[in-house]
Amino acid sequence: MILATMMSINACSQMTAPSSFNTSTHTPPLPTASASTPVAPAHHDDMDDIDEVEILQEHVKLLEQNLFLMQEQMRALQRQQVALNQNMEHVAKNQRIHVKTVDIETHNDLPHDATYSRAYAQYQKKQYAQAIQTLKPYNSGGSGSTDAINGMYLLMLSHKQLKQCESTITIGRQFQQRFPTHIRAAEALYSVGQCQYDMQQKDIARETWKRVRVLYPHSAAARMAAQQLR
């Protein structure tokens, strides 16, 4: 009995409690931003808005120029209408004299037809200097007849072929101003811009090409002007 008790005490003495317990719990680290975390891209909306405003301002500027030119043309048409009414009154009072005058003017127009035909033939042969001399009567559009108008335009082209930019600009500008509704008016104004550009007047040339687009938006010259303005 005593032996059993001794063995039990010995066994208990060998069983020792741990000196300390690790009561701390493992806490996972705080998450950090990964290198692959997407970053919001930079926005260019402000720059796009600025470009759009500049385009709109330029468009408004062109519209204002177009309005001014249309008002000038309207005033010119009104003056022409007044003059036409006065001429009609004069013709009504002098019908017999008018009939005789028409016959005389018809005969006087014949040499002009020959003049234009000769100048056109010279231009086709690339005899531009000779064509310029032949076309002198059409320097300002003459009487405004078909041959006179075509002669003035051909005169501008002849100067352009010889790289005579100052004459090309002068005649081309006069042609467009005097005959703004003519089928060649847009091309004449475009040629003015070309010569201005060749003379290093690039800013002025750009303004001229802008006018071409405003005044003749559906013309081939307007499309060429748009390409130059890019």
Name the residue with higher pLDDT: 115 or 8. 115
- Please check whether residues 75 and 85 belong to one and the same domain: yes
Per-range mean pLDDT, top range of 49-58, 81-90, 202-211:
202-211
Please check whether residue 27 lies inside any domain of the structure.
no
Same-domain status, 153 and 172: no
pTM attached to this predicted model: 0.52
Residues 6+ apart with CB under 8 A from 148: 112, 137, 138, 141, 142
pLDDT, tens digit, 9 for 90 and up, residues 58-95: 656 666 666 766 777 777 777 777 777 666 666 555 54
Total number of domains in the chain: 3
In which domain, by residue range, is 194 found? 164-230
Both 109 and 144 in one domain: the answer is yes
Question: Do 186 and 155 share a structural domain?
Answer: no
Indicate if 73 and 133 belong to the same structural domain. no
Same domain assignment for residues 112 and 158: yes
State which of 72, 93, 114 marks the end of a domain. 93
* 174/219 same-domain check: yes
CATH number at residue 201: 1.25.40.10
CB-neighbour burial class of residue 105 (10 A; exposed 0-12, middle 13-18, buried 19+)? exposed
Do 139 and 126 lie in a common domain?
yes
* CA pair distance 122, 161, nearest whole angstrom: 13
Q: Does 230 share its domain with 188?
A: yes
